[in-house]
Amino acid sequence: MQRLIKRGLMFGNLFHVDSPALVDRYNRALQHLTGKRTTETDFHIDISGYSPEVGDELGDHLYLNHAGVNRQFILLSMEQRTAPLLNAKFSTSRGILQQFIAENEAQLFALTARDAVAGELVNSVFDVSEPRRLFDLRRVKVEADTTAGTVRDAEKLGQMVERFRTEKDGWYDDVLIAQMIELAGKTGDVVRNPVKLRQMSFDQRNFWTAHFGGLYLFQDLDHPAVVAPSGKDHLGDLPIKYVFDADDRNQLAKFFEYNGLTETIVEARGINSAAILRQKMDFILIDAVADEGGDLTGATRADMRRLAREHAGKLPEEFHALGALVNWAENGGNWPRITSDHPAYFYTLRASDTKDAELVNMLLAELAPKDARQMFICHKELFYKTYARWPEAKKAYVADFLVAEYQVDKAGARAALFGHDAPMEPPAPRKPDPVSDLIARVGPWGAVRER
């Protein structure tokens, strides 16, 4: 992992806490949330305030995320908003924190100038001891204040000011005036500069969780389902009809299709589909030949072709199928029939333009695990776990590629791979048909075991 850390591919873009003032604020917030303190004087934190160094010191890397639910957070600086979220247990958590920071930018900027802001992503579930409990996670509410209670005191002062203005004898209430003066010394002028954080809550219906081996819950769809790529037999009875794992390839393909969640790369508008497919082939090639022990540093396109020729006998079906697809796209070759049973099928897909595009691309990264680039971009938790098991040659090649081709322009790379052009005109309404009516009555996946 040191290679990834040194190249900024792991623990990159964390906020550096290295001044006595920031350390003191962090400790006040940590004491406020958990009753713990750190003796570290130089450490790094993610968007939620979690620090790998502090986690090592405390012997608990979930010290701000007990039991993996209701994640707590510590904000020391607005710079944290661009930091990653480490040890993520839910795919929605970083986005929620980013939206909370964006919606309260001015207030948080003022508050963090003097104190740390401590808070929690709150829902009604305090443990997920069994998979069924995940279905109780419907909304997440953000609660936050400074460690000194500035927001709470400002709200109280605001109420006092209103009493002072509206009550008949407010001008003569010496006790009320004294209390207002005392609170104003803590909060400042709340009339001219209101200190208030916007109360925010977020729906959490479609999400990924790291619990139970990694699950994708798609509840807010026309045809809902749970996807457990690593296996579903341990999940027990769930309050949803359809549960799939990575072996249910045909059902997964239909699930994507009926919900309009995916599109084929070659049919997507505004991207260089052949270049994307060719790069996927390179990763599949490297996966197949890396254990040979050769040096793959700085491998060129000619080197990749040479490797493909030399190792043609051991290249998997995915490589040859994507090659045929590239040949069709560039040279007008025969259209290759790649069905959902084929190992290359999920390599040919990407998320369509829906609100769940990031979640779908995350799932596709699990279903097409040899595409190291997509896994790194869309599912870092899985990437780091998988990377640790790779041969050294593959580790070096992938790290070099990500530094050269992704780190230099992250936004551009994401747009080129997963972006969507605006449609030229709205699609025509779909006419009802007997097949759609049948799907609506009995479900789209046929004889699948109910749960």
Q: How would you write 158-218 as a 3-class SS string?
A: HHHHHHHHHCCCHHHCHHHHHHHHHHHHHHCCCCCCCCCCCCEEEECCEEEECHHHCEEEE
* Same domain, yes or no: 11 and 142: yes
Nearest to 49 by CA among 85, 21, 20, 24: 85
Any domain includes 403: yes
* Same domain, yes or no: 127 and 275: no
* Same domain, yes or no: 265 and 139: no
Asked if 72 and 97 count as a contact pair (C-beta separation under 8 A), the reply is no
Cα dihedral 10, 15, 19, 24 sign: negative
Any domain includes 324: yes
Any domain includes 192: no
Burial 29-55 (b: 16+ CB within 10 A, else e): bbebbbeeebebeebbbbbbbbbbebb
* Same domain, yes or no: 410 and 277: yes
146, 180, 205 — which closes off a domain? 146
Any domain includes 301: yes
3 state DSSP class of 139: strand
Any domain includes 173: no
Beta strands 15-17 and 43-45 are antiparallel
The pLDDT score that the predictor gives to residue 441 is 46
Separation between Cα atoms, residue 391 and residue 6, nearest integer Å: 19
Any domain includes 264: yes
Separation between Cα atoms, residue 374 and residue 365, nearest integer Å: 6
Tell me which residues of the chain have a pLDDT lower than 50. 189-193, 423-432, 434-436, 438-444, 447-451
Asked if 240 and 220 count as a contact pair (C-beta separation under 8 A), the reply is no
> Over the stretch 282-341, which tens digit does the pLDDT of each residue have?
999 998 888 776 667 777 778 888 888 888 888 999 999 999 999 998 888 788 889 999
Nearest to 263 by CA among 151, 419, 380: 419
What is the residue whose two structure tokens read 């964390």? 14
92, 120, 146 — which closes off a domain? 146
Total domains in the fold of the chain: 2
The pLDDT score that the predictor gives to residue 426 is 46
* Same domain, yes or no: 280 and 409: yes
* Same domain, yes or no: 131 and 274: no
Domain residues for the domain of 75 are 2-146
110, 125, 146 — which closes off a domain? 146
The pLDDT score that the predictor gives to residue 427 is 45
Nearest to 207 by CA among 223, 222, 235, 226: 226
The pLDDT score that the predictor gives to residue 272 is 87
The token pair at 284 is 């599949």
3 state DSSP class of 73: strand
Please tell me the pTM assigned to this model.
0.84
Report the amino acid identity of residue 292. E
Any domain includes 239: no
User: Which run of H or of E encompasses 149?
Assistant: none
* Same domain, yes or no: 140 and 265: no
* Same domain, yes or no: 411 and 265: yes
What is the DSSP secondary structure assignment for residue 403, as one 8-state letter?
A: I
Any domain includes 314: yes
Cα dihedral 396, 1, 51, 369 sign: positive
* Same domain, yes or no: 408 and 266: yes
